[in-house]
Structure 1
């Protein structure tokens, strides 16, 4: 039986999400009755939740502050995640969505503020220590990018790699470029993020492959480019593959890429070859779109579904 790895997730932006749903049951049509749900949100916590669902021990390093941060920390800890918190004077961001119409309508938001110099230093230290102790470290991005500068990610990637860390980065923009220069084990980006970072002009397989090959020459071990409902492009050394999953009905596309990243990290932590890790990642991301819970899923279902994922080698 494969060992279960320890995954450290660096989560610069954790978001408290409040969802208002249409009430079900005998009182559904009475007055203003509704179902109100509180969720942990943000890329890092979605990655962490999926990694945990796949059986990994998970440590989350991130800033937590204010009332929202207290709720997020307690919720994460009660779910079994290990939280290494950094003080955050501004408090964590929050979103309130109304889904009673069947569509998601944002009715209130409290945005994330930039980390102060001392807060960034504390996060760097916490992430470096936990990341070098864990089997795999996952770098996720801030939302918005102004929360934490790209230089932070480049420095952290360098120091983690010097320590021998297996590093999986799921980033966009300048942060992705800064980390790519350090040569992470895996760099995962969405196709529109590749274009947005100026690495490719079009979202064709050819252009995206050329962009990935340029990143490989910089030292990136493997580049994984998700392409919405199209096959995922994976490039390593001088080879490239398209990873196909059966098309499923989508309930919510958000969190699919984060589920993919989590599964790749867990599989690498188990010692799986990179293509097998991407196969599991595509299975996790594909199944996640069929669920309303972001970064959630059943390990057994994901691993069984991964046998339906087909890998096509490109010329």
Structure 2
């Protein structure tokens, strides 16, 4: 459901008191000692009025103005909540990385805005981005909104996801051999891979007979026999921008469909947006997109892990300066 599942000390205390009260009440009929304790300590004391459930805790968490933003965003209809929290139960990250991502989700990273607006630190004069990009330095700004990081850190995170997809497509369609299967961070995609049945582009401009502004998707896959083309484009926005980014990708490449059909003599061109949030939220539409290009079930889990690791690296590096 989110968070690290830390024990609720107050709730644990209530459960222990109620458990002891029930125990002595049941034993009081058969033991004079238990009966004496029951009369002295529990007979006149009220029962514990309320013991919190997980749903109670979740609602309390959502009600918090700052810390509740992430669980509210994860509970939206367009988000797969269970998949979004997979990295928490998979046991695939170091505890330090896991804890740091939780701090990012809870928005307790000491950014300039957090120090000035939340902690009221009088030593912080300005809450503008320390990289000088004329924006307020919030955690959302650092994870996916700083123009100074767009050409470096964000590109590396973005490419880590694209490399996974490219390598998987190349292996599936026999464009590379299984001996070339390496971890995504070591994989170096070729600009063009082709055999008698498929053609695969990596970050390559698609030339058309008329000017099309958006003509460079991350991946282009062509099935020559079925005369089909898939335009795959990846984005890693903040949580509140998942749906908008999905539709933005479709609109962006819609003008490229007709020129490709005409020039390459294909019947179908499909746009496949691959969207995952900077903190690992998985939109429901991501599963449909991955099924469209026949990706294995586990691929979104690898993508999520790569994004979480990359985002924590970006924030650590940013805060270290």
Query: TM-score, length-normalised on structure 1?
Result: 0.26
- Which is richer in strand? 1
Query: TM-score, length-normalised on structure 2?
Result: 0.26
- Which is richer in helix? 2
Larger Rg: 2
